[in-house]
Structure 1
Amino acid sequence: MMPTTAKYPPPAVMGSESIMSKKAHGTSSMPVQENLRWKCDRDVADRICNYNRHYAEFSGYYRTLPEFLNEANDTPATDEMTFYDSNTGKPLFYAPRGRTMDEFLRESRNHGWPSFRDQEVNWDFVRILPNGETVSVDGTHLGHNLPDGKGSRYCINLVCIAGRPMDEPKEC
């Protein structure tokens, strides 16, 4: 838990515990999408997104997915990647924003999970609970806010943000 004397501001948008109340599918009204991006493991994603409040995919999981690393490395310096809720397809994070892709990947590698900063969070759909748990407004567990000397840092499970956009057609 963040001490009250922190030298950096609290997360931009806090949420209440009620977001994670029991719904039709764990903490969400639906299971994860059938065809997650980057060939993420759907069973792991469903367990972490919807039936979990504390655990995570293993450290470095995102680095075992060549499809993700290729997309990140192929993203032009002037562009950013959009990360979507694995349940709903809503856009949750944009990276890199305010830094380079190399800086985003280096920080993620140093911490073991994709690591986002406040300016990379879509606050329309992401909330931080008082204990630091980072969730979607629809009840998807995403990860945790683990502040450091630069401010809030959101360590997020890639399986929870590997959804396809809401309006993207489903593959057969």
Structure 2
Amino acid sequence: MIDGAGIAGAAPEDIARRGFSLVPEGRNVFGALTIEENLKVGTGMRADRRTIADDLDQIYQEFPMLAERRHTPAGMLSGGQQQMLVIGRALMAAPRIMAIDEPSLGLAPKIIDQVYEILLRLRALRKLTLLIVEQSSTRAMMTGGRMVLIRGGRIVLE
């Protein structure tokens, strides 16, 4: 549910327009597109298109490495850089709720720390609700807020 309205069975574009954005597992970037083109893909479902340029600037402030390499094909980025790019792309949809599937998957511990620092900062700055699916429950607990631990499809801790 988003704002009291059910989303089960709703078209993906309708869910996105209601303020939901997804960062899927596996850092799915469009490798042949530049960083900037990848970020702009995230604006496709936005109702308000007037602030796209400002939002792009804000993403570049949050992720300076993306700004420095904005014309580089996304396929040339490291795993951690790609993770930051897909988070930035999801933010370009101007979400209120962002689901992130396995943000630490395949990343070095130092990069995982950076990703979680960014997520915490974004949560505070944008008043963003984060729904994190993470095998490392310890890491996810550090983001604060409400936590539900599910094992084998059953809630075991709330």
TM-score (norm 1): 0.30
- Which has the bigger relative contact order, CA under 8 A and spacing at least 6? 1
In terms of fraction of residues, the more helix-rich structure is 2
TM-score computed with the length of structure 2 as normaliser: 0.32
